[in-house]
Structure 1
Amino acid sequence: MRFIIDTSTWVSLVKYYKPFDNSSVIYDFFKQKIKDGEFIILSEVSNECSFVSRKIVIKELDFITNKKLITKTTELLPTKKFYNLLENQFCNQFQKRLLNETEIENLTNEFLKEADAKIILKAIEITKTLDNEITIVTEETTSNNDNKLFKKIPAICKELNIDCIGLPKLIEIFNKDISIMIKSTSAKQRT
């Protein structure tokens, strides 16, 4: 199983979990999972982390900008089928009716450059390979409360039948691994 992690999740990790990570267990756990290829950081997510929430993520998690750990997406291009899905299923039809063709085209081109689109495209690419188990981790919700043209990641994942979870569920999945790391760290500190 592999996990593509969204910017919102990295922000939540740094804000709500890292302050209690006195022994750097969470930090070490995420860094190791990325090195192992189990957790995926896309180049667009790394870039977003460089300017959201006063750069808190890159200040706390130096591996977020480590080029050796980042998955580049320059060759990841949408197919004709993806464009059709974007236009019909992934689009907020109410918002679309308020825009002219040029505005829709501009917003579509912008969306395709953003992390959300790249996350979805990468997940689709991975599901087509033999190693087809992929989950997207995001703190976004399905509700469309920002008046954007395109739906949020969880809503798109639902349409595509791709698993989508939040950070608490990810930590729950790996709770045993994290507990082992905590015990190991505690034992080292006692000696």
Structure 2
Amino acid sequence: MRALIDTSSLLSMVRYYLPFDKKGVLFEVIKRKFETREIILLDAVFEECKYVGQKAILKKLDYLEDKDFLKENRIIVKTEDLIPLAPAKFLNQLKKQFVANPFQFRKLTEGEFEVKKKEFLDSADAKLIMYAQRLLKENPEEEFYLVTEETPAANDLKLFKKIPAICDILGIPVITLPELLEKYPEVDLGFG
């Protein structure tokens, strides 16, 4: 099983789970999952980690800033050349299915939409979705999840839908951090 993890899930882990991890079990399990690439960290997510929650993720998961650890285990997956599997279809879906706010979309000029589209395609969210599509296509027999704490509901003023809503359209399985941790029997924080 492999999991592609979002910044929101990493932030939840360091804020709400690691403080109760008195024996360091969860910390070590997650570190091992990164080493074995069972948990995948995209460069775009890593970059977000530098600016979210006063660097809480990188402070708690300090091995993510250890250059030797990162190099030896090739933890961070580069996405600079990542494109959608079927670019024309994906871009069509972007306009027709991934727009969260049709009213806002209709008010945009073609040029303004191109700017918003580029911003989205360069975002960690889009990179997670595109990388997930690629993994699913290349490894159809493997159990795979995109892990995020986002909900499908559009509760902000962003033009495009949230990760779970887009993944639902594309058939990408999405779970939350608690659901991921349930899949790791070696994680026991003593609540049960």
Q: Common fold, TM-score beyond 0.5?
A: yes
After TM superposition, list the pairs within 5 Å mapping 1:44-63 onto structure 2. 44-63=44-63
After TM superposition, list the pairs within 5 Å mapping 1:93-104 onto structure 2. 93-104=102-113
How much has 1:102 moved relative to structure 2? 1.5
**1:32-89 deviation per Cα after TM superposition (whole angstroms, max 9, x unaligned):** 0111111100000000000011111111112334352111111211312211111111
- What SS is found at the alignment partner of 1:3? strand
Corresponding letter in the other structure for 1:123: A
After TM superposition, list the pairs within 5 Å mapping 1:151-190 onto structure 2. 151-174=161-184, 176-179=185-188
- What SS is found at the alignment partner of 2:99? coil
Distance 1:10 1:30 in 2: 10
Q: Is the 8 A contact 1:40 1:71 kept in 2?
A: yes
1:15 corresponds in structure 2 to 15
- What SS is found at the alignment partner of 1:41? strand
1:189 corresponds in structure 2 to none
The aligned length equals 180
Corresponding letter in the other structure for 1:101: E
Q: Which 10-residue stretch deviates more, 93-102 or 157-166? A: 93-102
Identity %: 45
After TM superposition, list the pairs within 5 Å mapping 1:1-191 onto structure 2. 1-65=1-65, 66-67=70-71, 68-78=74-84, 79-92=87-100, 93-131=102-140, 132-174=142-184, 176-179=185-188
Corresponding letter in the other structure for 1:74: E
Which consecutive residues of structure 2, in runs of 5 or more, have no partner in the other structure? none
Q: Is the 8 A contact 1:41 1:64 kept in 2?
A: no
How much has 1:134 moved relative to structure 2? 2.1
How much has 1:19 moved relative to structure 2? 0.6
How much has 1:11 moved relative to structure 2? 0.4
- The TM-score with structure 2 as length reference comes to 0.88
- The TM-score with structure 1 as length reference comes to 0.89
**1:134-169 deviation per Cα after TM superposition (whole angstroms, max 9, x unaligned):** 211000001101111110000011101111011111
Q: Alignment RMSD, CA only?
A: 1.6
1:188 corresponds in structure 2 to none
Q: Is the 8 A contact 1:95 1:148 kept in 2?
A: no
Corresponding letter in the other structure for 1:24: G
Corresponding letter in the other structure for 2:167: C
Which consecutive residues of structure 1, in runs of 5 or more, have no partner in the other structure? 184-191
